[in-house]
Amino acid sequence: MLTNKSAKQRTSKPATEQARIRNIIRLGFASVLGLTFCLGVLGLYQLHNSKSSLINIVELGNEKISLAIKMRDAIRLRALTVQRMLATDDYFRRDEELQQYYEHSGVYRIAQQALLTMQMTAEEKQIHETLRSLASIAQPINDEAAEMLMQDPLPAEFNSALEKAVLTQRQLLQLLDQFVDLQKSYGKASVTAAQEEFQSTIFLMLMVVVLLLLAGSAIAKRVTHLVTSKNSELEAKNKELEAAWFEAANATHAKSKFLANMSHEIRTPLTSIIGFAETLAEPSQNQDDLRHAAEAIKQSGRHLSQIINDVLDISKIEVGQVEMEMIPVSPTAIVSEVANMVEEKIKKKGLKFRANYYFPLPKLIEIDPTRLRQILLNLLGNAAKFTNEGIICINTYYLADERMMKYEVSDTGIGMTPQGAAKVFEPFSQAEKSTTRRFGGTGLGLSISKQLAEKMGGDIVCESRKGEGSTFTATISIGDIHYPDLIYEADELSRIPVNQAVSTRPQRTLFSGRVLLAEDTIENQKLISLHLHKSGVEVTLADDGEQAVNAALQNNYDLILMDMQMPVLSGAEATRTLRDAGYTGPIVVLTANTGQADRMECMDAGANDFLSKPIDFDRFFAMLKTYLVEASLPATSRLRQAGEQPGAVFSEDSELQELYNSFLRRLPEMIESIKDAAQQQNWQELTHVSHQLKGLGGSFGYHHLTAVCKNIHDCARQQSNEKLDEFIAELQDEYRLIQHGDMTTRKAV
């Protein structure tokens, strides 16, 4: 069976080759026939084009000549009418001839206008322009001479006018003759061009015939070439096999190198684990020895786990299985957290450590916080590993134009040569072999970090000098937060935790005094006044800026809390009005507009302070301490913390719970208002409603809702449709999460 099968395979190969040759021959003849057909079609097409072009040129030239002759005849007939008027003494006869004169002038103008509308060459346009310029001079002269003939006796200047008229008429006739001659020369040139095109068509057809002959010759050569090409194919296959062998050998070498690296890295912690585990079994060990052994096993286990995690990370990255959890986080707080994690380790080596922030910096960016921590920990860990003296710094910048965060990790360590720095991001590579022997490590950390940075829209680059130190610069995109709030001062950093959850619960303080709260949103009125009442403060409400101005001028208040965006008079306008009227009491602006320009507008209007919505009650009560007299309050009273699930603390206070329920009832109506205003491009209404919801969302724990409404509010203020539909859809998705009670995405801003 095997023999027969092999024989069939051998006999089928020549048959297949013969069929291939037949197909090539058929293809060749089909190509010859196709080229012949194309030749005929091309020749006919060229002849048709030549004929059409010649006809068009001749017809156009004839029409131009006809119009020029009409103009020339009109000039001559007009001269004859003048001669006939001069020859007769009959006044009425002269009048008839004058009418004929004007009729000929009309014929001239009509022909001239028709000629003007036709397509002309530059030379024709020049003659026509000269003709028109001369006609504008000749026409009044001829008309004047003709009109003088109607006078009896003839004026003394008639002879002079007649001479001028005759001279200009001759010049016009010369130009028209020149125009006619030019048209004739164009006609001759067109005929010559048609002849040349015909000759080129014949030449092209001859060339195609030559190509057909060459194609036939090529087919014959191709048939003979097939036999010799088999040897070339066999040689190429041998080369491919040789290249595949070398590739397999390289892969085997890389695998061996990887296994050797991993074997070394894994054996080191395993040796420690096994050795200290054996000491645990010895009865002579005291408690300190046992504790030391257990700690060593734990540290080695963590090291081993890190090695395995690095290998898994690099393999996931290479096959594209790394998923990013992009959520709003504080970039500065992550730096602070990472700095706290590595600072003790760095200082134990006798090194100095600094974390520097270059303002302004965004309050929130949208990234994967776990991966950013991993990048920064790798960079700082590397800096600590290769630095024995000096300082390690991490500098944080915001590149507003590129919408990128930039983190620089610099050290005064051993540094690298340019060759070493060029390959430092390669997997399983370190700058030099001596580095691996001296410091250890798999060489995966920087490769992983660079690829993670690239997946977050950035990169990592390295600058290094041997013996002086290195600087690794990581850039990360800020994500889909288009207009991030910015922080401008170092004291604001402490108020921005990584996951937006406040770690300490603010204690309520009892105050005495009277506060005027100017706020147009009912929910905010109730929420703020409730906290003020619980703090012992007497509160007066104003629904708009005008009411706030009237109330402040008619009563005595210890503090005015002024919303920025209100009907009738805005917060800034109301503040400015009060200051102009001589009001000197403290005014603090509460607003969801937290940009630097908004802050400056409030301060320029005369405000004493500025607090952003949603309200941070730590800052709120700290502000109250500045302007009101305080007293103590039992420690059992507290406020709901930013980042807690809505309802978890509200349920402890029936009044807060009612406010929360009222907000949830009104939320669908506000979202519909935003959608309607966006659809109708009612920017004023969209600005107003999105501003309200921007402040309310965070006040009731829905801080992502505040972030979305801020984006919508920015679009409304700029009257921009760009990404507005996307933000509206995101708002609807957020509302669906709220409806289903999903609190996992609730983050403070």
Q: What is the pLDDT of residues 266-304, one digit of tens each?
A: 766 677 677 777 777 777 777 777 777 777 777 667 657
Q: What is the pLDDT of residues 513-532, one digit of tens each?
A: 899 999 888 878 888 888 88
> What is the helix (H) or strand (E) element at residue 207, kind and residue range?
helix 158-280
What is the average pLDDT value for the chain, to the nearest integer? 76
Residue whose pair of structure tokens reads 């999105």 in the numeric block: 690
Residue 107 dihedral angles phi and psi, to the nearest 5° = -60, -40
Distances in whole angstroms, Cα of residue 599 to Cα of each of 158, 289, 398, 612, 646:
88, 61, 20, 10, 29
Q: For the residues 319-347, what does the mean pLDDT come to?
A: 80
The whole-angstrom separation of Cα 447 and Cα 125 is 72
Q: With cut-offs at 50, 70 and 90, classify the pLDDT of residue 429.
A: low
Q: Are the C-beta atoms of residues 373 and 530 closer than 8 Å to each other?
A: no
Supply the pLDDT for residue 488: 79
Strand partners for 472: 409, 462
Long-range contacts of 271-275 (CB under 8 A, 24+ apart): 272/296, 272/297, 272/299, 272/300, 273/297, 273/300, 273/301, 273/304
Q: What is the CA radius of gyration of the chain?
A: 47
Q: With cut-offs at 50, 70 and 90, classify the pLDDT of residue 645.
A: very low
Supply the pLDDT for residue 508: 58
User: Residues 6 or more apart from 208 whose CB is under 8 A from it?
Assistant: 35, 38, 39, 42
Nearest by Cα to 458 from 397, 384, 415: 397
Q: With cut-offs at 50, 70 and 90, classify the pLDDT of residue 560.
A: very high
The whole-angstrom separation of Cα 129 and Cα 116 is 9
Q: With cut-offs at 50, 70 and 90, classify the pLDDT of residue 494.
A: low
Q: For the residues 607-615, what does the mean pLDDT come to?
A: 80
Q: Are the C-beta atoms of residues 695 and 613 closer than 8 Å to each other?
A: yes
Q: What is the pLDDT of residues 97-138, one digit of tens each?
A: 778 878 877 887 787 778 778 777 788 777 777 877 777 777
Q: Does residue 7 register a pLDDT over 60?
A: no
Q: What is the pLDDT of residues 237-271, one digit of tens each?
A: 888 888 888 877 766 765 666 666 666 567 666 77
Q: Does residue 639 register a pLDDT over 50?
A: no
Q: Are the C-beta atoms of residues 168 and 138 closer than 8 Å to each other?
A: yes
The whole-angstrom separation of Cα 738 and Cα 557 is 39
Angle at 552 between CA 547 and CA 558, to 5 degrees: 135
Nearest by Cα to 563 from 623, 505, 517: 517
Of 154-158, 463-467, 619-623, 628-632, give the lowest mean pLDDT range: 628-632
Distances in whole angstroms, Cα of residue 713 to Cα of each of 364, 522, 658, 720:
17, 19, 27, 10
Supply the pLDDT for residue 650: 39
SS3 629: strand
Supply the pLDDT for residue 633: 44
Q: For the residues 354-364, what does the mean pLDDT come to?
A: 89
Q: Does residue 572 register a pLDDT over 70?
A: yes
The whole-angstrom separation of Cα 153 and Cα 158 is 10
Q: What is the pLDDT of residues 208-242, one digit of tens each?
A: 777 777 776 776 676 677 667 767 777 888 888 88
Supply the pLDDT for residue 406: 95
Supply the pLDDT for residue 123: 80
Q: Does residue 1 register a pLDDT over 50?
A: no
Q: With cut-offs at 50, 70 and 90, classify the pLDDT of residue 689.
A: confident
Supply the pLDDT for residue 547: 93
Q: What is the pLDDT of residues 305-314, one digit of tens each?
A: 666 766 665 5
Nearest by Cα to 610 from 562, 651, 659: 562
Q: What is the pLDDT of residues 127-179, one digit of tens each?
A: 777 877 777 777 787 777 777 777 777 777 777 777 777 787 777 788 777 77
Share of the chain above pLDDT 90, in %: 12
SS3 682: coil
Q: Count of residues for the chain?
A: 749
Q: With cut-offs at 50, 70 and 90, classify the pLDDT of residue 499.
A: very low
Q: For the residues 447-476, what does the mean pLDDT come to?
A: 90
Answer yes or no: pTM beyond 0.85.
no
Q: With cut-offs at 50, 70 and 90, classify the pLDDT of residue 736.
A: confident
Supply the pLDDT for residue 548: 93
Supply the pLDDT for residue 265: 60
- Compare 610 and 19 and report the one with higher pLDDT: 610
Supply the pLDDT for residue 642: 29
Supply the pLDDT for residue 710: 83
Supply the pLDDT for residue 502: 32
Of 464-468, 496-500, 648-652, give the lowest mean pLDDT range: 648-652
Residue 434 dihedral angles phi and psi, to the nearest 5° = -65, -30
Q: Are the C-beta atoms of residues 389 and 353 closer than 8 Å to each other?
A: no
Q: What is the pLDDT of residues 55-95, one digit of tens each?
A: 777 777 777 788 878 887 888 887 788 778 877 878 788 78
Supply the pLDDT for residue 286: 77
Four-CA torsion 201, 205, 208, 209, nearest 10 degrees: -160
